[in-house]
Structure 1
């Protein structure tokens, strides 16, 4: 590994920020529906979920691969196709679902204290940044702020603000531009094999996979990986010969 590494790019969700419970696909709809105060417009949650799943399919059908869109569009789709909602109330109902979803989502997020300490140590040697997929505008920034981590990062690049999701090259290109350094002076760290490991390598970055026990992935080749942030700190703040073994 080169000794002039300047930046570490981090994925956010399930890398920096963890959730008290990992959501299943229907949970995202449930987080908007339960406690929203507008549940009565649908016969039950199953009816709402059916429309919610239809929204995902229809929105994706008109977008380019890896093109991003805002989460509220899903709820607008659901509301627009619910005949029991008065046309003058549709915007308010969609906003209510969105606000309930985001409030519930935030309540389930946290950053471990030992991870914050490790990030502080890494920030003494490297510049840190976040490059993450997310459908809430400025949502990653809010999560980092709520969990006492916003001052650790030079910048945050998200798919919703960029318009493109990982693994689109466009989101990595923008992050490299913000870093104002060569791509081979950047290490990418994240838990997704394609988005956080393979794609950054294709952009000539180095990458380290956060290989948690829940990944259960058969890798195509030998992978540079760590199991947790303690191991990551040991590698990145240790002797360069130790890092070379990893990367």
Structure 2
């Protein structure tokens, strides 16, 4: 594979940028800011699976962006029986997006691996995340300079796994799909979506929970073994 690949496309959240860790720190901050006495661990136990569900629905165009932002919070508070007014949920929703990019923990070896790969390949980002925060995440975590192009679903008007977002990314990168590789954590959006668009793929599964017959890694460091 490495002998014909020239361009590598990465997902951002859950692949390079440690979403769960940064999200937890953001909730800690905005709960304090809004004077909410919420057990953070209990809230996150509810929020994490609900958030993942809404992102899947969002990627399938079954919910709107504003519905995702509100409903994931409203349902999480409901699940832990925490009474909260709609006005506060809307404020938390805005505060969360505003503060999320202030925390920028990356997965282990991200800088080292990107530094090595960028000396051999052209690197790119394809993300379904909200445009207003994805660029800030890249900049604030000091990895933006590694990427030649950054494509968000809001730029294109469709989300992964829709082939159109991969086609747009390939066009912007000026590379053919046969010379391209996608690295991401989501089997449907990143891996199957990329494969349908003609790209090779590597699944990033740090907890080794996803059954997959193709290339799979548990650490980013393994990319160096496969690609250098």
* Residue 211 (str. 1) matches residue 171 (str. 2): no
Q: 1:224 aligns with which of 195, 202, 215?
A: 215
SS in 2 for 1:166: coil
Distance 1:64 1:103 in 2: 22
Root-mean-square deviation (CA, aligned residues, Å) is 4.0
Distance 1:66 1:215 in 2: 28
Residues 33-57 of structure 1: per-residue CA shift (max 9 Å, x gap): 7345497xxxxxx9xx9xxx9xx98
- The verdict on how the C-alpha distance between 1:151 and 1:95 changes in structure 2, with shifts beyond 3 A counting, is farther
Displacement after TM superposition at 1:146 (Å): 0.3
Mind listing any 5+ residue stretches in structure 2 that lack a counterpart? Answer: 37-42, 74-84
Q: 1:66 aligns with which of 56, 61, 69?
A: 61
Distance 2:7 2:110 in 1: 18
Residues 52-99 of structure 1: per-residue CA shift (max 9 Å, x gap): x9xx98xx7xx99437854588459x9xxxxx89xxxx8xx8874344
Displacement after TM superposition at 1:181 (Å): 1.4
* Residue 156 (str. 1) matches residue 150 (str. 2): yes
Structure 1 segment 78-117 matched on structure 2, within 5 A: 96-112=91-107, 114-117=109-112
* Residue 11 (str. 1) matches residue 4 (str. 2): no
Structure 1 segment 139-178 matched on structure 2, within 5 A: 139-178=133-172
- The verdict on how the C-alpha distance between 1:32 and 1:157 changes in structure 2, with shifts beyond 3 A counting, is farther
Task: Name whichever of 65-74 and 222-231 sits farther off.
Answer: 65-74
What is the TM-score when the length of structure 1 is the normalising length? Answer: 0.67
- The verdict on how the C-alpha distance between 1:150 and 1:67 changes in structure 2, with shifts beyond 3 A counting, is farther
Displacement after TM superposition at 1:142 (Å): 0.5
SS in 1 for 2:145: helix
Distance 2:171 2:62 in 1: 20
Question: Which residue of 2 is the match for residue 234 of structure 1?
Answer: 225
Query: Is the 1:70–1:160 Cα contact (8 Å) retained in structure 2?
Result: no
Mind listing any 5+ residue stretches in structure 1 that lack a counterpart? Answer: 40-45, 79-83, 238-247
* Residue 34 (str. 1) matches residue 26 (str. 2): no
- The verdict on how the C-alpha distance between 1:122 and 1:100 changes in structure 2, with shifts beyond 3 A counting, is same
How many positions carry a matched residue from both structures? 208
Distance 1:191 1:74 in 2: 21
Q: Which has the higher helix share?
A: 2
Distance 1:22 1:147 in 2: 11
What is the TM-score when the length of structure 2 is the normalising length? Answer: 0.72
Larger radius of gyration: 1
Question: Which residue of 1 is the match for residue 79 of structure 2?
Answer: none
